[in-house]
């Protein structure tokens, strides 16, 4: 802005000087004409006077005087020509300066327009090639608009400077976006591969081999999602949700989020998959042990004279407790229920039919006899305690049963 004002000031001074020089030349031309006329008149008068005064003088003196007059006229004419030439050169010099200023203004205007076009092209390229999440050029767009306003008001040099600054900032932002895109693409590819591998592992573990009490694989298979109450499906849905969002727009994730997914979440999911599979195998094994334990107790009851009536899982759900019933020769009826606890532990209940003549102490004694008969199978018995009637027992089945519970550890 300062340079533009200075140039305009110089330009105005040059125009003023040119006008003054033109006025001076006109003045000089007028004066020269007056001098020439006056001189000519004086020469004529002088010649007349000389001729009159020295009419009778010698011819040599007359010739000498005439020669001097001619020489004076010649010298005076040469001086006038020299001054005219000097003034003419000065005028040409000022004209060339003005032409240079005009050429500079034209060049500045053309250069400013080129910078505007180049900056606009770069902004258009960034809009087309880069996601808006990767690069924000709001400030640079406003700077370009200001540069255009400067151009329209004739501030070409200011426009050029602002365009150059804007172009430089856009270039830096573009390089930063390139690096960021490269990093995000690399992370996204790694995450995509890891997620595909994890999803493949989850799908391949829908059914896994069951294990026995020693941890050895059996020929039977376990439905992992069933035995973990849908935990495998929840894990698969969580992983697929992240995969879908990543496939839709990976640039919506920050670098830190992608790193967290790759370094923390995926290893966590992998570990969780192992835990889920292990839980499914343990749950299935737990159900089998409940079944075996119930039948061991039932066999002991048979040895005491009871006859098995039925045995089944609650509501036919293998994840719940196992129930067996037996009838004695004296008409008494007992129900044995094995409920699952944590870490392959069980809660066993012995319930007596309503109207039975057995007291609570006799029920405890009978329960001890039954449970002692299964110690050889490796079960550790805990404390025996009376419990209240469970809601699932109907009044028709057992109206007021004597019920004893004891935890069992395998």
Angle at 230 between CA 225 and CA 231, to 5 degrees: 90
The arithmetic mean of pLDDT across residues 105-126, rounded, is 87
- Nearest alpha carbon to residue 324 among 340, 314, 312, 333: 312
Residue 271: predicted pLDDT: 94
| Best CA proximity match to 201, nearest among 230, 236, 225 | 236
Higher pLDDT, 96 or 352: 96
Q: Which structure tokens are listed for 188?
A: 């996204």
Length of the chain in terms of residues written: 410
**Long-range contacts, 4-9 (Cβ 8 Å, 24+):** 4/154, 4/155, 4/156, 4/157, 4/158, 7/101, 7/104, 7/105
Distance CA 94, CA 11 (A): 10
pTM exceeds 0.75, yes or no: no
**Separation CA 219–CA 224 (nearest Å):** 15
b/e 32-62 (16+ beta carbons within 10 angstroms → b): beeeeeeeeeeeeeeeeebeeeeeeeeeeee
Instruction: For 274-314, write each residue's pLDDT tens digit.
Output: 999 999 998 888 888 888 888 888 887 787 778 888 788 87
Q: What is the DSSP letter of 215?
A: S
Please say whether the beta carbons of 300 and 373 come within 8 A.
yes
| pLDDT score, position 217 | 85
Task: Look up residue 297 and give its two tokens.
Answer: 């107790």
- Give the mean pLDDT of the chain: 77
- Identify the bridge partners of residue 207 per DSSP, sorted by sequence position: 223
Examine the pLDDT at 402 and tell me if it is beyond 90. Answer: no
- The pLDDT assigned to 27 comes to 75
Residues 6 or more apart whose CB falls under 8 angstroms from that of 283 comprise 227, 228, 319, 340
Q: Please report the pLDDT score of residue 88 as a whole number.
A: 73
Using only the alpha carbons of the chain, give its radius of gyration: 57
CB atoms within 10 A of CB 339: 18
Per the CB < 8 A criterion, the answer to whether 143 and 162 are in contact is yes
Q: What percent of the chain has pLDDT over 90?
A: 15
């Amino acid at each position: 802005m300062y340079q533009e004002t200075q140039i305009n000031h110089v330009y105005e001074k040059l125009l003023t000087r040119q006008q003054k020089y033109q006025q001076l030349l006109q003045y000089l031309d007028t004066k020269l004409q007056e001098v020439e006329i006056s001189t000519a008149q004086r020469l004529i008068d002088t010649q007349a006077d000389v001729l009159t005064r020295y009419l009778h003088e010698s011819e040599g003196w007359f010739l000498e005087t005439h020669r001097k007059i001619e020489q004076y006229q010649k010298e005076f004419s040469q001086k006038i020509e020299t001054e005219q030439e000097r003034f003419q050169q000065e005028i040409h010099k000022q004209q060339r300066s003005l032409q240079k200023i005009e050429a500079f203004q034209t060049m500045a205007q053309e250069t400013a327009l080129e910078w505007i076009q180049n900056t606009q092209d770069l902004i258009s390229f960034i809009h087309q090639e880069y996601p808006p999440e990767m690069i924000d050029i709001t400030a640079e767009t406003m700077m370009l608009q200001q540069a255009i306003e400067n151009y329209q008001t004739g501030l070409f040099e200011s426009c050029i400077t602002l365009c150059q600054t804007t172009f430089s900032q856009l270039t830096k932002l573009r390089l930063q976006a390139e690096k960021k895109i490269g990093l995000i693409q690399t992370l996204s590819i790694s995450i995509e591969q890891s997620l595909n591998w994890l999803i493949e592992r989850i799908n391949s573990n829908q059914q896994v081999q069951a294990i026995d009490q020693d941890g050895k694989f059996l020929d039977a298979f376990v439905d992992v999602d069933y035995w973990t109450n849908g935990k495998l499906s929840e894990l698969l849905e969580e992983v697929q949700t992240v995969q879908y969002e990543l496939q839709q727009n990976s640039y919506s994730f920050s670098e830190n989020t992608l790193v967290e997914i790759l370094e923390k979440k995926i290893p966590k999911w992998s570990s969780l998959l192992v835990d889920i599979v292990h839980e499914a195998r343990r749950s299935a094994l737990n159900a089998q042990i409940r079944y075996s334990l119930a039948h061991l107790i039932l066999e002991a009851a048979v040895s005491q004279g009871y006859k098995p009536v039925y045995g089944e899982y609650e509501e036919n759900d293998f994840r719940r407790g196992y129930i067996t019933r037996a009838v004695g020769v004296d008409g008494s009826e007992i129900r044995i229920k094995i409920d699952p606890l944590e870490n392959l532990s069980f809660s066993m209940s012995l319930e007596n039919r309503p109207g039975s003549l057995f007291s609570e102490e006799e029920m405890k004694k009978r329960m001890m006899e039954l449970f002692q008969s299964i110690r050889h199978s490796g079960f550790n018995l805990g404390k025996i305690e009376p419990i209240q009637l469970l809601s699932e027992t109907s009044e028709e089945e057992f109206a007021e049963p004597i019920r004893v519970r004891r935890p069992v550890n395998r």
